[in-house]
Structure 1
Amino acid sequence: MNQNFDIIIVGGGAAGFFTAINIVEKNPKLKVAILERGTEVLNKVRISGGGRCNVTHACFEPNELVKFYPRGEKELRGPFHQFCSGDTIEWFEKHGVELKIEADGRMFPVSNSSQTIIDCFLKATQKLGIAVLTGQSVQSIFKKENTWKIETQTENYLAEKLILATGSNPKVWEMLQNFGHAVVSPVPSLFTFNIKDSRIKELPGVAAQVTVKVKDTKLTSTGPLLITHWGMSGPAILKLSAWGARILHDKNYQFTIFINWLNDADKEAIEKKLKELKQEHAKKSVSKKSPFELTNRLWESLVLASGIEQETKWADLSKIQLQNLVNQLTNGTFQVNGKSTFKEEFVTAGGIDLKEINFKTMESKLHENLYFAGEIVNIDAITGGFNFQNAWTSGFIVANAV
Structure 2
Amino acid sequence: MRIGIIGGGAAGFFAAIAVKENYPNAEVIIFEKARKVLSKVKISGGGRCNVTNGCTSIPDLCEAYPRGGRSLKKVFHVFNTTHTMDWFQSRGVPLVIQDDNCVFPVSQDSQSIIDCFLKECRRLGVQIKTQAGVSAIQPKDNGLELNFLNENQASTFFDKVIVTTGGSPKKSGLNWLEALGHKIESPVPSLFTFNIPNDKVTQLMGVVVEKATVSIQGTKLKAEGPLLITHWGMSGPAILKLSAFGARLVNEKDYDFKVLVNWCNEQRSDKVLDELHAIVMRYPNKVLANVKPFGLSERLWLFLLDKCELSSRKKWSELGKKGMNRLINTLSNDEYSVKGISKFREEFVTCGGVSRKSINLNTMESKVCENLYFAGEVLDIDAITGGYNLQAAWSTGFVAAQLK
TM-score in terms of structure 1 length: 0.96
Question: How do 1:373-392 and structure 2 match up within 5 A?
Answer: 373-392=375-394
Match of 2:355 among 339, 353, 356: 353
Aligned to 2:215: 213
Aligned to 2:306: 304
Identity of aligned residues (%): 46
Aligned to 2:194: 193
CA offset digits 1:40-98 (Å, max 9, x no partner): 00000100011111111111122221110000011000000001111111111222211
CA distance in 2, matches of 1:199, 1:139: 49
Aligned to 2:130: 134
SS of corresponding position for 2:117: helix
C-alpha contact 2:266 2:272 (8 A) present in aligned 1: no
Counterpart AA for 1:321: G
Counterpart AA for 2:349: V
In the alignment, structure 2 segments of 5+ residues that lack a partner are: none
C-alpha contact 2:275 2:293 (8 A) present in aligned 1: no
CA distance in 1, matches of 2:138, 2:37: 25
CA distance in 2, matches of 1:198, 1:9: 48
Aligned to 2:203: 202
CA distance in 2, matches of 1:318, 1:111: 55
CA offset digits 1:301-327 (Å, max 9, x no partner): 111111112322223223222211111
CA distance in 2, matches of 1:347, 1:85: 20
* Deviation, structure 1 residue 176: 1.1
Counterpart AA for 1:182: K
Question: How do 1:91-240 and structure 2 match up within 5 A?
Answer: 91-152=87-148, 153=150, 154-155=152-153, 156-169=155-168, 170=171, 173-196=174-197, 198-208=199-209, 209-240=211-242
C-alpha contact 2:183 2:357 (8 A) present in aligned 1: no
CA distance in 1, matches of 2:320, 2:266: 25
CA distance in 2, matches of 1:102, 1:355: 36
* Deviation, structure 1 residue 200: 1.6
CA distance in 2, matches of 1:378, 1:7: 23
Aligned to 1:69: 65
SS of corresponding position for 1:246: helix
Aligned to 2:398: 396
Question: How do 1:231-310 and structure 2 match up within 5 A?
Answer: 231-310=233-312
* Deviation, structure 1 residue 282: 2.6
C-alpha contact 2:16 2:401 (8 A) present in aligned 1: yes
C-alpha contact 1:199 1:302 (8 A) present in aligned 2: no
CA distance in 1, matches of 2:276, 2:385: 37
- Alpha-carbon spacing, 1:196–1:319, altered in 2? closer, same or farther (3 Å): farther
* Deviation, structure 1 residue 198: 4.5
Counterpart AA for 1:308: L
CA RMSD across the alignment = 1.5
CA distance in 1, matches of 2:307, 2:265: 19
TM-score in terms of structure 2 length: 0.95
Aligned to 1:83: 79
C-alpha contact 1:197 1:334 (8 A) present in aligned 2: no
Aligned to 1:51: 47
CA offset digits 1:159-218 (Å, max 9, x no partner): 111110001135551111111111000000100111136452321111111111211111
SS of corresponding position for 1:163: strand
CA distance in 1, matches of 2:332, 2:387: 32
Query: Once structures 1 and 2 are overlaid, which stretch shifts more, 8-17 or 262-271?
Result: 262-271
- Alpha-carbon spacing, 1:158–1:102, altered in 2? closer, same or farther (3 Å): same
Matched pairs, number: 398
SS of corresponding position for 1:205: coil
Counterpart AA for 1:49: G
In the alignment, structure 1 segments of 5+ residues that lack a partner are: none
SS of corresponding position for 1:401: coil
SS of corresponding position for 1:187: strand
